[in-house]
Amino acid sequence: MTKQLRLLFGVVFLSLIFGGCFKPKHFESYYWQLDSLKYYTKKQSKEIAQLRVDLYTKSAEIAEKIEMLNTRLSESETQLTQINEKLVKGRKPDADSGEVSSLSPEARMIYESAYLNYVKGNYNESIDGFKSYIKIAPESALSDNALYWIGECYYAMGKRQDAVNTFNELINKYPQSNKKPTAIFKTGIIYEEANEIKIARMYFDRVIKEYPNSPEAVLAGNRLSQ
């Protein structure tokens, strides 16, 4: 703005004042509005500052919770790895592979075909195959295994009661079976999924009591601690 314009505005402003356009009451009103504006501006500045503090605090809390969750996740992954290692080290070689060679050609073909159907998800065919195997070789070393896989087929098909009945048949009929601890534990799992927690805990406790050094006992202990 040039010097002449500034001078002109000054003359106009003084003329307005002395001409009576700006009365004292007007000045008082303007001063009041200005003070009010300063007050609310200061108040809003404080509120904004508080919001920044709250945001920083919340961000720190969220970051802490995320770190805590990451730590728990890492611990869970470590526990799962340890359990898996125990399962691998503690379990005896599966009889399915070690004893199938001792079967007659016919029994072997039926057993292997039934197991292959289980792996492929053909559960009805697998059940029929394992039942046929049990009929022709009821006293063989793999009869208990065949019964176990029938239970697994029922479980995979969502037929929980049939699975429980089959696992209990294995438990009672083959007390020395290497599949017994797994059958007991799996029965507990089925009851747990059905929200029959009291019965499920009975089976988990049984695994720990009868097979304290088994991988299933470790898994059962984890279930009981949840």
Span 67-84, pLDDT tens digits = 666 555 555 555 554 554
What is the per-residue burial (b if ≥16 Cβ within 10 Å, else e) of 149-164?
bbbbbbbeeebbebbb
CA 201/CA 151 separation, integer angstroms: 20
Q: Using an 8 Å Cβ cutoff, are 186 and 153 in contact? A: no
Calculate the average pLDDT of the chain: 78
Residue 20, pLDDT score:
53
Domain boundaries, the chain: 53-90
Match 């125990």 to its residue by tokens. Answer: 86
Residue 90, pLDDT score:
47
pLDDT per position in the chain (226 positions), as tens? 555 555 555 555 555 455 555 455 555 565 566 666 666 677 677 777 777 777 767 676 776 667 666 555 555 555 554 554 454 444 444 445 556 666 788 888 999 999 999 999 999 999 999 999 999 988 888 999 999 999 999 999 999 999 999 999 999 999 999 999 999 999 999 999 999 999 999 999 999 999 999 999 999 999 999 8
Other C-beta atoms within 10 Å of 147: how many? 23
